[in-house]
């Protein structure tokens, strides 16, 4: 007899999680609470409520987390200019700590004994969900059906659904995209299908958010982003919330063919994985943030951030958002952003994000009177450079003499 009486399930309403819902009830003889989050995936989440009701679920959580996701997860990550293995903007990774947090909170609210997710045993998401849950609720019980059951193919899942009268649109399920996809307001990812061959070029009709650079407009789009303490607070002079920033930048970036990536990455579980990503808004944010930092950050602070960023990115990718080391790094990163204020002007053109202007009235460290190639009226004494160079060359000169 299982000691699990109630489970909180991360539920999308699709085939996989609908099967998981019924499987949990049958396997553990338990009540299931469903949790469905809108984090900007661009699909209606309310139908999940009706599907859960049709399956007899009594406690159903449907939550709009778009603003929280952008404000408390995406924006803090972009203050660090975070990018994994030089290319991946961590769209899937950064959503998992928020989902894990809400699973745990709902478990506490409902008195549930366990949480459950639909991540497979091959991927990173199982690690991210569970590390987050354990960090926030050390004694939580986690159920990962893909590591327990024998329903290891789509055909078996559909057969199980038919056998148990699970409400699934089988016509739609049978026409499912050949790709495994994940979407939120930062990105949409594609894996599987022909992408399992690293030599195969993605099909053009796979992409959903962006036009191809070849099909993008022949005239550039100009936008202006206003920054306060490292975060965008206005677009073209109009105040915006973090969620609105993602929505607007995804739209304008997608229209200009910005944000496509084709990557072979190293998963935390050990295998290499090939994926394609669309991150139009994130691609714009990364370029713009580095531009405003170039004007307002001290050189050594900027270089130290760049040195620490790969470690910070790895922590997020591997699922350690709630770890003390990530939180320590975040405090340092946030402290560095106090002077990151001003405006960046960008030109978007056929897949390119081009910085064409940056300005900070209060915090710019660019001194034109010193940097000018014209007469600086004594602001900088070029003779000072001689001693500077000789002191820095001293060890090189000593070593060179030894080698004679």
Active site residue 197: no
- Own/partner long-range contacts of 101-106 (Cβ < 8 Å, ≥24 apart): 101/132, 101/136, 102/35, 102/37, 102/61, 102/63, 102/65, 103/8, 103/10, 103/35, 103/129, 103/133, 104/132, 104/133, 104/136, 104/137, 104/140, 106/8, 106/33, 106/35, 106/61
Contact 225, 252 (CB under 8 A): no
Which residue among the candidates 16, 38, 113, 231 is catalytic per the annotation?
16
Which tokens in the block code for residue 26?
A: 């049958």
Contact 347, 291 (CB under 8 A): no
Q: Which residues are annotated binding-site positions for ATP?
A: 10-18, 37, 118
User: What is the Cα–Cα distance from 188 to 260, expressed in whole angstroms?
Assistant: 10
To the nearest 10 degrees (0 to 180), the angle between helices 299-318 and 280-296 is 150
User: HSE (CB half, 13 Å, CA atoms) of 86?
Assistant: 5
Provide DSSP, 11-49. --SSHHHHHHHHHHHHHH--EEEEEEEESS-SS--THHH
Active site residue 336: no
Which residue among the candidates 66, 79, 96, 102 is catalytic per the annotation?
96
Q: Which residues are annotated binding-site positions?
A: 10-18, 37, 88, 93, 118, 120, 124-125, 128, 180, 189, 265, 277
Q: Which residues are annotated binding-site positions for L-aspartate?
A: 120, 124-125
Q: Which residues are annotated binding-site positions for L-citrulline?
A: 88, 93, 124, 128, 180, 189, 265, 277
Which residue among the candidates 113, 125, 273, 326 is catalytic per the annotation?
125
User: What is the Cα–Cα distance from 388 to 299, expressed in whole angstroms?
Assistant: 17
Which residue among the candidates 71, 72, 180, 294 is catalytic per the annotation?
180
Active site residue 16: yes
Active site residue 231: no
User: What is the Cα–Cα distance from 28 to 74, expressed in whole angstroms?
Assistant: 36
Catalytic residues: 16, 96, 125, 180
């Amino acid at each position: 007899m299982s000691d699990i009486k109630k489970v909180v399930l991360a539920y999308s309403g699709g085939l996989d999680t609908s099967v998981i819902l019924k499987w949990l009830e049958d396997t553990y003889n338990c009540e299931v609470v469903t949790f469905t989050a809108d984090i900007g995936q661009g699909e209606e989440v309310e139908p999940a409520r009706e599907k859960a009701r049709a399956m007899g679920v009594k406690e159903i959580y449907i939550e709009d987390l778009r603003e929280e996701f952008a404000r408390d997860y995406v924006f803090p990550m972009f203050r660090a200019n975070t990018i994994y293995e030089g290319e991946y903007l961590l769209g899937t990774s950064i959503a998992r700590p928020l989902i894990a947090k809400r699973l745990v909170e709902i478990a506490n609210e409902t008195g549930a004994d366990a949480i459950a997710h639909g991540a497979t045993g091959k991927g990173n998401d199982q690690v991210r969900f569970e590390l987050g849950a354990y960090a926030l609720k050390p004694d939580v019980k986690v159920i990962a059906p893909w590591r327990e059951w024998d329903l290891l193919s789509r055909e078996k899942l559909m057969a199980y659904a038919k056998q148990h009268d699970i409400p699934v649109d089988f016509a739609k399920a049978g026409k499912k995209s050949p790709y495994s996809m994940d979407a939120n307001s930062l990105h949409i990812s594609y894996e599987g299908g022909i992408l399992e061959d690293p030599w195969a070029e993605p099909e053009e009709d796979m992409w959903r958010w962006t036009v191809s650079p070849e099909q993008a407009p022949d005239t550039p789009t100009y936008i202006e982003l206003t920054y306060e303490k490292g975060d965008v607070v206005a677009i073209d002079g109009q105040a915006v919330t973090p969620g609105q920033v993602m929505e607007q930048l995804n739209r304008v970036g997608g229209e200009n063919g910005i944000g496509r990536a084709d990557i072979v990455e190293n998963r935390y579980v050990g295998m290499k994985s090939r994926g394609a990503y669309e991150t139009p808004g994130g691609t714009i944010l990364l370029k713009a943030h580095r531009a405003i930092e170039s004007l307002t950050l001290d050189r050594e602070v900027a270089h130290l951030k760049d040195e620490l960023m790969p470690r910070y990115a790895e922590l997020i990718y591997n699922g350690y958002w709630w770890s003390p080391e990530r939180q320590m790094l975040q405090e340092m990163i946030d402290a560095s952003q106090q002077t990151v204020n001003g405006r960046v002007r960008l030109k978007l053109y056929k897949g390119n994000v081009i910085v064409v202007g940056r300005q900070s009235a209060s915090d710019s460290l660019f001194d034109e009177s010193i940097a000018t190639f014209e007469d600086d009226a004594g602001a900088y004494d070029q003779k000072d450079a001689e001693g500077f160079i000789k002191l820095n060359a001293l060890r090189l000169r000593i070593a060179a003499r030894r080698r004679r």
